[in-house]
Amino acid sequence: MKIRSPGTWILIGAAAVAASVLVFCRPVAHELVYPIEKLKLVVKRKLMANPEVSRLKRDVESLSVLTGELERLRAENDRLRKVLDYAQARQGFYVPAAVLSRNAAAVGAGCVIRVDKGSLAGVCEGAPVVTPEGLVGKVTATTPSTSEVTLITDEGLKVSVHVELPGGTRAHGILAGGKGDVLNLRYLNGREGEIPAHSRVLTSGWGGVFPGGLMIGELISGEGEVRPAVDFEDLEDVFIRCEK
């Protein structure tokens, strides 16, 4: 048997160490090589790219962003103008308030909002809350700076309403909650099924809680389903009716 020299054993050991590094330290090796590979890729794309095409692409992307921003600003401007016009039309009667949060109390899912005006602004419990589109609900609790508003989607909040019928007649009923995009109208003088779809539903003023003539929405069918005029999911600003 041939005896290997010390130099041969050194070479064999070095080869074994190198093989171990390649097998067990591959992730480390990949990380070490990554900057070089990345640099090669960037240089290759720079050399192959058409400068004019790249510039035009950037311009198009910039215009797209600018157009989106202009649309957002236009929509916000329209919303604020509507709010301002409504406040001016009812100056001294309605207090504008911004929606702070939803479900501030455990009345029911989506049935309570909290707004940024309270007793210091003259808000009282029981005050009707509206938007330019129609009735939102009523104030059920106040602090000096905030109020909780129970929405008309809450089953516990009953609203006396009337439905406008052809020929100028009316059918009376009670609004009794709902689920966001559909409200429930009951006790239509026994006329369920007879009232045409798309008939307008407004507050009657009976009971003294809500003033008459506030828009609720329109009937989806004569069975008492009402599509609300107010979009409760997108409420940002409301108006609270206060006594002089």
Instruction: Give tens-digit pLDDT for 59-85.
Output: 564 565 556 556 666 766 676 666 666
Q: Does any domain span residue 244?
A: yes
Q: What is the pTM of this model?
A: 0.61
Indicate whether 196 belongs to any domain. yes
pLDDT greater than 50 at residue 242: yes
Number of domains in the chain: 3
Q: Are residues 42 and 118 in the same domain?
A: no
Among 71, 89, 107, identify where a domain stops: 89
pLDDT at 43 over 80: no
Close Cβ partners of 195 (under 8 Å, ≥ 6 residues apart): 163, 165, 171, 188, 219, 222
Report the mean per-residue pLDDT for the chain.
75
CA-wise closest residue to 129 among 42, 209, 45: 209
Task: Please state, in angstroms and rounded to a whole number, the distance separating the CA atoms of residues 147 and 117.
Answer: 6
Closest CA to 190 of 203, 206, 171: 171
User: 122 and 43 in one domain?
Assistant: no
HEC readout, 9-34: HHHHHHHHHHHHHHHHCHHHHHHHHH
pLDDT value at 109 more than 50: no
Burial of 17 (0-12, 13-18, 19+ CB in 10 A): exposed
Task: Check if the beta carbon of residue 94 is closer than 8 Å to that of residue 130.
Answer: yes
Say whether both 220 and 185 belong to one domain: yes
37 and 130, same structural domain?
no
The dihedral over CA atoms of 101, 107, 111, 113, expressed in degrees to the nearest 10, equals -20
Specify if 79 maps to a domain. Answer: yes
| Window from 37-41, 121-125, 154-158, 160-164 with minimum mean pLDDT | 37-41
Cβ neighbours, 10 Å, residue 13: 10
User: Does residue 233 fall inside a structural domain?
Assistant: yes
What CATH number is associated with residue 137?
A: 2.40.10.340
Q: In a 3-state reduction of DSSP, which class is residue 182?
A: coil
Q: Are residues 40 and 99 in the same domain?
A: no
Beta strands 225-228; 128-130: pairing state: unpaired
For the chain, how many residues are written? 244
| Dihedral of alpha carbons 187, 105, 102, 97, sign | positive
Q: How confident is the model at residue 5 (pLDDT cuts 50, 70, 90)?
A: low
Domain that holds residue 21: 9-48
